[in-house]
Structure 1
Amino acid sequence: MRQGDIIRLIVIEESANDAEMILNSLRKARFPIRPKHVEDEEDLLAALSEQEWDLIISVPEILDFTVQRAAELVKTSKQDIPIIALIKKFSDMTALLAANIHSVIPRDDTISLQYVVRKELDDLETRLNLRHMEQLYRQSQQQNVSLLETSRDAISYVHEGMHIHANPSYLEMFGYKDMEELEGMPVMDLVAPEDHAKFKEFMREYMIDENEEDRDIELVGFRINQNKRQKFKLKLEVSKALYDNEKCIQIIIREQLHSKEIEQKLKEKFSRLDTLTGLINRQHFMQLLDKALSKAMESHTRSLVLFMRLDNFTEIRQRVGIGGSDPIVINVANALKEALPNVVISRFGDVAFTFLLHDKDLKHAQAFGHKVLKIIEGCVTELENQSVVTTCSIGIAQVLASAGTPQSILSDAHAASKVAEKNGGNQIEVYKAVVKASDNKDAELNNVAKMIETGIEEKRFSLVYQPIVSLRGEEEEIFEVLLRMVDANGKNVPPGMLFAAAEKAGLTLLLDKWVLREAVHVVHDRGGTKHNTHLFIKLSDQAIKDSEVLIFIKKLLKLGHVTPEHLTIEISEATAISQIKFAKAFITRLKQMGCKAALEHFGTGLNSETTLKHLPVDYVKIDSSYAKGLSSNAEHQTSVKKIVELAHSFNKSVIAEAVEDANSLTVLFQSEVDFAQGHYIQEPDPRMEYDFTG
């Protein structure tokens, strides 16, 4: 790892104190760590889904959770995270190393730990650099292939005198349609007989010469034209090269002294236009779509893609014959060009056309789609013995930052067009993302991210409220605000999936701001400063690092005529610890504005006392894991009492989450917890109707 890089570390250890000892030994060695303590499989799965990690240090087992199982979970997550196992018995070493544990060292050997940590991190950086170089190599290869295929120069590769590859210009020059016709053919067959001896001597001298400089020779070549061989002059340049990692000879013909007709065909072939219709071709459309996607990612400026396919064209082709198909496609293209002169239109496939509308909204795209339907419906193609009229099916997809690739956007538009076609054709369909069970977690999250980006205008979002009830007899109205979203079918998106998708796509700020805006409206509608309603709102990790969020909150409060004390902003303890500098600055400014602050999931950090010393929060919310079986779990009861004592020593109020039953509520009361929240008290509800006086 580069010096100064933060090391994101997971420690799998039963005791928080023992975990802290491991961390202290690394801190003494000046490792800049950002740790997370994990005790079981569920904790590790949650950590792996939160972010990427650099290292795991683990004991061999905690109850039935083993370091071998941890290695399996890491492998399943497709993350490259070295694992160091700390053992007490050397007899465990062989089995652990066989289970792909990277390093195994004695538990109490801090010197070895520091050395192995540095070694594993260095090895990790080497692997990351290697993958980066491989990616750059692949990109370079792709670029080289692209340059080769689009080059105006005729280029081929020859191994032992036989063609193994040629680009389109080379094939066109010698009159071949595809590489299958040329593959394995001796290069000598393309040279006129009178120059065979000259070419053989040239190649013999070139191959035995140790000087690898390029050489050229002027020859007479053969071109196939209507099954006849035509001679033409060419200047052939040879050089030593690699193709598919195999040594070969590269042939380049730079001076193409062939007919103007062939040269014109080459120009048309490699231009941006489709040769049949004059519309832009598929390749150029994808380039324009890629630029639109980049713009969406940079500025959230949306464009729209329409995928149009002519209806029932298989039946039409059977009726008019193959010869009658092209005139129909040409006529449709001309009608589109004439009616839509300033629109980006592509002939994307045989009878498929695509449109790109820049900086337009969905309503505009739908109106545009209906216009296209009328254009195609009114387009009549006159053939020799019949008139042909057709219709089309159109799918619309938005160019969203979360789409990731141009291919994904086209896939959505194409899927929508298939729905329109299935429903009878001659209609448009807007792509609608829905929640689907899928083996591909990334695809699921990408689908949800698309829903998030369009969620506001499509009114997918809503708020529900859960009461936070005083256990000390206060009648203050406090609700936690929770965000919910539905898909196009009205089905609820699981909150965990919603926020994971937002995090992955960088859309958490969009959700934060929507919730803040709606929450302020709610307080205003309930009487603003005159009403005693207080709302708790959780913000994302991204929000506390964005200074604009505080300005946004201040403006909302001012415009809504709501006093700041009605809002309490929550951040998680894990976020606070990992972003302590940002968290402290954020909470300090929040308090200066008059809002309150809360630290949720409290009690999961390795040193909660230090966290409370640094962060001027008003509330701590005990992590929900302590509520599980609280009435019968003595260990959890002891932990809750310790958290309450610690929080009260810093004058912080304590809220217990996820209260399950009446017995747990009694334990919380006896432990001097200040507030309680959970499904036992009331499940989250769209209405704020809890009776706080009861």
Structure 2
Amino acid sequence: MSVQNQTLTLLIVTSETSEAERLIGTLREDGLAATSVTIPQADRLQDVITQRSCDMILCCGYDRDVDLDHVFAAYRKLDADVPFIVIGEADRHAGDLIKARRGGARDLIGRNDNEHLKLAVSREFTDLLKRREARALNERLRLCEQRDRELIDVTSAGVAFVQDGLHIDANQAYLDLFGYADLDELQATPFLDLFMPEQQKQIRDLLRGGDASSLGEPLELTVACRRADVSQFKARLLAAPSEVDHEPCLRLILNAIDAPAGTANTGATQPAATSETGLASLLTEIDAHIDSERIVERPFAIFYLRVKSSARLLRDLGLIHGLEKLKEFAEILTSSVAGRGFLARVNDDGFGLIVDGLSEFEAKAFAERLIATARLTGQAAARDGEEPDCEIGYYLVRDRAAAAEDILDAAYRLCIGHDFAAQGQTSGQSPSSLAAGAHQEGEEGEADIVRKIEYALQNDQFKLVYQPIISLMGDNQENYSALVRLFDEHETLYEAKDFIDPAIRAGLIEQIDKWAIRAAIQVIGEQRRAGHNISLFVNLSEDTFRNPNIILWICDCLREFDVRGNWLTFQFQEELVVGNLASIGKLVETLKKIKCRVAVNRFGSIERPELLLQGLKLDYVLLQSSFAQELADDPAKQQQLIALATLAREFNVKSIVTGVEDARALTVLWTAGVDYVQGNFLQRPSPTLEVQT
């Protein structure tokens, strides 16, 4: 954009208003549109430039009331890029020129040399605009690099940067792919050692620049790789020139090649295959059914089958004969599957099986057939009344899926949690999530509330209300739980309990969560700029946290409203965490990288809550509201609450008791060492962020 199309704001240092008007008029004659601010001295130079957004300073050095040395001193203290031009008497030009240069002036112009003035102002303003553009581009580059780093950290592909045959940097997925504990261990290993010998010449040529330097676009190779434990895998390698800290290097993106779907894994059919390899192959096959947003592209049934009493079998037959029996069982099981699915042996007595496209009825029938035919050698096929040799759990995977580890864990839990004394040793699908439960319990006639949800999403009819989380230990942080409310087209208010389950069944819950996240972050930004030490707690539903791209949405919102991650706490319900531990564990690690805090809601309902504290890096636990009900009159409940608060403290996690409804409970909670309380007795949810007294 030309200088003539820009608005130039001049700061003129002179005590004579008429002289300032003359200078402005001279510049406007040449098409330099300009506005001006005039000050007689340089006492408030910094304040005026900041408040009036001045682009350039003209100092009338010939004005007897202007202390030029004072102006130079004030200019040197400026924390801004503002060109400085001095206008002086022509007969004193030589003496003033040295002083002007030492004072930081860009030019010294004679008092009546109008042409020089026009040229100098045009030149300096053009240079100023170019510097601003360069700074803006540098900032955009910085943000792009930051976003690139965030994408690299959360992507499931292995990404690394290599220079002179050594790793400069790599993401966690890359470390996991090759089996290295940390970046230091990887950096100590030559890059060539990650590939099989027959592949190394091709990789060496790539490193030498024979391929990379002439790349018009990234180079793709299929390579045979070698892990830290010397096991092998094939992968697609995408290589392209890049830069790290302004130094040229090679950027590598590595994706393991999935085994073809529908083939039996060698871990179940060949004695040489290890259970560790079989487990990795099974997890890879699960991921092959799911896209990058965890949407199930090919619905499937997952089965977990294990040999009953395998420990007794090894004890009675001895290790060698016992393992031989288990090997023979694996061969019989492979024959029973008969190529219908992907079978993998995940440990000595356990097998995972994936079969595409089964209905619930077909999955149950298939499991019963496996139970009947998969027998230890020397045993007849199971007949009515006879006890089978194995037990099996299965369920169907469709819609949006959890992490592969969570999917396998769910089938495993269904297997070991079944009452095996019952006839027919199969355990079918049970709701392992709130989403599954909500889908099963869908009510007829809820189309109207779904229509209201859609209307609210389209017309921004959702609102946040806030309930304070009050410290019992003197914390000055202003913590609030952010709760979503819906207003329909008639301004009728609906609480979350009225629309959350229909939203889950209609597949709209993730959109509501995204609205709530962005709205909460916007409120935090506004309140922080107003001087309030506020922090908000926001719930994440199962559909939302299963989407790996949600972290990018959060990062974009934090950047948009200039909000720090540690001002925001994300909550997960305990019953969801148990069934999605791997999915949530990965998300928690990523949230921690952007400094967000993490909490588990409805804590204390599972038998061993310490397992969650061991498995996740939590900041808070919110105890289920039933603990606060009639607490003062229930000694057993008091002891249970004290135990949970003490357990949280042992893991350096803050405890919050919700649902507080009476004053007597506060005394018990304070004595128990609870950190925070929340409830209608203290304050009902409110549309304003003020603690009512």
Normalising by structure 1, we get a TM-score of: 0.42
